[in-house]
Structure 1
């Protein structure tokens, strides 16, 4: 019986011992070998002084060893606390001070940053994955040597914490999301069902394993056995090469990644015939980009909506239609999955009728336990078994859900509510727009006005006047952008979402500091 994530590792080693579970940098690891090494690591962590539910932090890029550390924590009843490697030393300090791990496992490239803050941290043991150059840390192989013998079954319970993941910080300082084994198992099972993972599937992992996106698709493939092809980082051309060479069946991208893969595939003969599912999640995808993707890859796309705090809806493959009545669903996040319930709630707490936007509330076993060391935020987010997601959307009469914005991204101009995602979808229809973000900027007369920040398609030079004229054909006058800025790239959070906090900060005064800007 599967009661914890560690049980998945044990089950696959029992029934599929010689099947390959990970491929990374030329190494192929079997289910049996993963169990043996992760049990050895778990025993070593307990021998090093870790107690039940202590945190073990990891600061590293993707590798097969990353999954080994994950599994070692699952099997030993410890909490895996991931750290975003893209952060700066002060941000590492905030997260590690909040987490208070007993052990920090890190790659050598981050050693100097950790050393600069180490005096202010309370960490019992530092472990370097790939070097013995730090006299204040032991090498990973030395830690593994402490795990001689087998790890007794720790009888990890479903309600115990499995992971601690810090949010992208879209609404302020990152918060630690506490996720139980039950929540993670439910998430993996949902993903396996929604995204059509099958036994013996071959999944490419290119999103960072410190984030819920890559973790969730990894759980799904573990549920169905199969192989995880783990890449250290995302490279679109490299991803296409692996798909062709290794006959990958499952891909999981955020929209910005999918756009990069489409650009890399343009004009090339690349065999992608093995691909059965391309899941996209974490951020809205414009129907224009999705139509382009469908034309290139065919009807293999599945949309999943969720967040680090919980997982909720799915738009399945057969509802991704380019023509006919279902074509409008390309702008939808689909329906609640089989293990979730959704409410759309007005400000007064009542349920919104079809067509009326409200905040999406989610109930599911995949929902977090709460925020680490933050009871105020937990009480605000969790209400009588429901997670208040902060996303605003509406349902059509058939129950299909359409996102319109994050509550904190809604623009109020002259008393009118303007949903940034509606404006973004309209602007994305312009042939010269590669990607776009819409924000509100201060205005003395209207309170806020709409600004569009646009990355032009390669080889084009759209003007602000053209963009505004295009928007007037698709949107009410008060929704059109009053300002347009052109940039080389949009700032992204680790989840793949556009960092609108940075954009608002950059353009708060109507002028910007982002490279390549021009405007009306």
Structure 2
């Protein structure tokens, strides 16, 4: 086997009766999935698609979403993943950049697509999932009318198969194409790190347009196991799905775990089938992690990755996640573990020289599975890749035992009065306050210091505390100059699809206010 398309055929041959996907009452076996993938690939070919042409998808999680993935992986097309949470103008921007021939969209986005489709002259065909429109083809007809044997083309290992777009934490989203080799690596690494096997039942809640929403499904496919899909995150629905479908593996960021733990009557749900909960985006605060382990057991692992590297950069495995251990073990929880063995890795200062252990610098990696270049963006490629090294834009340091600690995004670092202040350190300190549920720290313009530290805080339900008291508490945890000069209390923080806080929107909202 050399491509993900080959894997689709293998599963149909050897695991044909196994459930591949479970979603809202639908159950699709691997043989059914393969046939629908071939039929869709055939219809797309009849619509004019050829190898390495793009087909874009705008949808929430569904089986149809993964059929589009599969058609591209089978036939050699490139599936372009579009974040449904973006504004219409941002979606148009991505679609113009990717230049797909076909756009497949869910019915709930028909009105929006209808308003902007005249701006999308490169798209030859629009396809609607779950409904009909006078100007769009019905998805069901593509499945019905496509040849059961598939199109007369097949994918190759070097073909691009996925075109992800970054979350835009540092500006306009950038296209990141990955080929079948990098997708295979992601499947194998996820299998190894999470212990996925043929009997696993993986729950996928995070969006399929995100690279983190594709790695776990690839591992499920590699092992011929079952992927349970949910359209969006709902803590009660998640607990019900785990109980009813006997889910073994899932993924949660800190905010998701907090919401699940706070569900009234959570103990009444049977979650004993769970063997692995992967976390990412940012380390989970120790108090929340302790509650999680009390509820679900010692099954939490931490992964650090990015769109540009398909597969984890580093992993803190579940046997090393011990919030009740020694001081060293507890300190380790703030790390993202050890760097993956297939990566070359270094941390550099502003001059490109390697930073000594314990000193923060920019994390750089070199991997055969990293992006070769951004889509249609040579300047961004030249800025990010130098001598084969990908500059992540993340700041971190190596601690005792070679554990990797993240301290900030390079562009999020606050410089106040000439001092470098890392937002993650401030956030970790404020998280220790017993009434703080969520917090984000940004730099706000300051006429005297250049920038000052500003904290945006979400309190736990029913709790009350003043901004001044939060600042005073923070001064007991870290040096005074690192502490917030101002605190905003809000009901919630904006989050990106990856689970990371959207600090771009926070700066737009608060920095003009000072």
Shorter-chain TM-score range: over 0.9
Q: Distance in 1 between matches of 2:111 and 2:278?
A: 37
* 8 A contact 1:240–1:265 mirrored in 2: no
How is 1:44-193 mapped onto 2 (pairs within 5 angstroms)? Answer: 44-121=43-120, 122-132=122-132, 134-151=133-150, 154-193=153-192
Do 1:164 and 1:179's aligned partners in 2 also have CA atoms closer than 8 Å? Answer: yes
Aligned-partner SS, 2:250: strand
Whether the 8 Å contact between 2:41 and 2:151 is mirrored in structure 1 is: no
CA 1:331–1:446: 2 relative to 1, 3 Å: same
Following the alignment from structure 1 to structure 2, what is the Cα–Cα distance between the partners of residues 388 and 198?
34
- Once the two structures are superposed, residues 316-353 of structure 1 have per-residue CA deviations (whole angstroms, 9 ceiling, x without a partner) of 01110122131211100000123223211111112111
Distance 1:153 1:120 in 2: 32
Pick one of 403, 409, 413 that aligns with 2:412: 409
Within 1, Cα distance between the matches of 2:395 and 2:153?
A: 42
- Once residues 149 and 471 of structure 1 are traced to their aligned partners in structure 2, the CA distance between those partners, rounded to angstroms, is 63
Runs (5+) with no aligned partner, structure 1: 512-520
Q: Report the alpha carbon displacement of residue 137 of structure 1 after superposing the two structures with TM.
A: 0.9
SS in 2 for 1:188: helix
Residue of structure 2 equivalent to 1:517: none
1:255-266 equivalences under 5 Å are 255-264=254-263
Displacement after TM superposition at 1:266 (Å): 6.1
CA distance in 1, matches of 2:391, 2:292: 32
Listed as ranges, the matches of 1:262-411 within 5 Å are 262-264=261-263, 268-310=267-309, 311-322=312-323, 323-324=325-326, 325-411=328-414
Deviations 1:119-162 (A, max 9, x none): 12121111111112x21111012222441240267442222111
Indicate if the aligned counterparts of 1:106 and 1:127 stay in contact, CA closer than 8 A: yes
Is residue 455 from structure 1 mapped to residue 458 from structure 2 by the alignment? yes
Q: Give the Cα separation in 2 of the matches to 1:209 and 1:189.
A: 19
Contact 1:344/1:360 (<8 A) preserved: yes
The CA distance in 2 between the partners of 1:241 and 1:38, in whole Å, is 30
User: How many corresponding residue pairs?
Assistant: 509
CA separation of 1:135/1:339 partners in 2, compared to 1, >3 Å: closer, same or farther?
same
What's the TM-score, normalizing by structure 2? 0.96
5 Å matches for 1:233-272? 233-264=232-263, 268-272=267-271
| 1: CA distance, partners of 2:180 / 2:388 | 18
**Offset, 1:181:** 1.2
- What are the superposed Cα offsets for residues 472-517 of structure 1, whole Å, 9 maximum, x if unpaired? 1110110011101100000111221101111111111346xxxxxx
Give yes or no for contact 1:186–1:365 (8 Å, CA) kept in 2: no
Distance 1:50 1:152 in 2: 10
Separation in 2, partners of 1:339, 1:155: 29
Question: Please, which moves more after superposition, 117-126 or 431-440?
Answer: 117-126
**Contact in 1 for aligned 2:38/2:147 (Cα 8 Å):** no
Distance in 2 (alpha carbons) for counterparts of 1:224 and 1:341? 28
Deviation of 1:262 after TM superposition, in Å, equals: 1.4
User: Contact 2:23/2:62 (CA < 8 Å) preserved in 1?
Assistant: yes
Note the residue ranges of structure 2 that are not aligned, 5 or more in a row: none
The SS at the match of 2:268 is coil
Whole-Å separation in 2 of the counterparts to 1:485 and 1:149: 58
- Residue of structure 2 equivalent to 1:516: none
Q: Output the CA distance in 2 between the equivalents of 1:369 and 1:253.
A: 29
TM-score, structure 1 length as denominator?
0.95
CA distance 1:485–1:266, shift in 2 (3 Å): farther
In the alignment, is the contact (CA less than 8 A) between 1:332 and 1:400 conserved in 2? yes
> Mean Cα displacement is larger for which, 381-390 or 270-279?
381-390
- Take 1:378 and 1:146, find their aligned partners in 2: how far apart are those partners? 41
Task: Find the aligned partners of 2:99 and 2:105 in 1 and give their Cα distance.
Answer: 15
Alignment map for 1:458-473 (pairs within 5 Å): 458-473=461-476
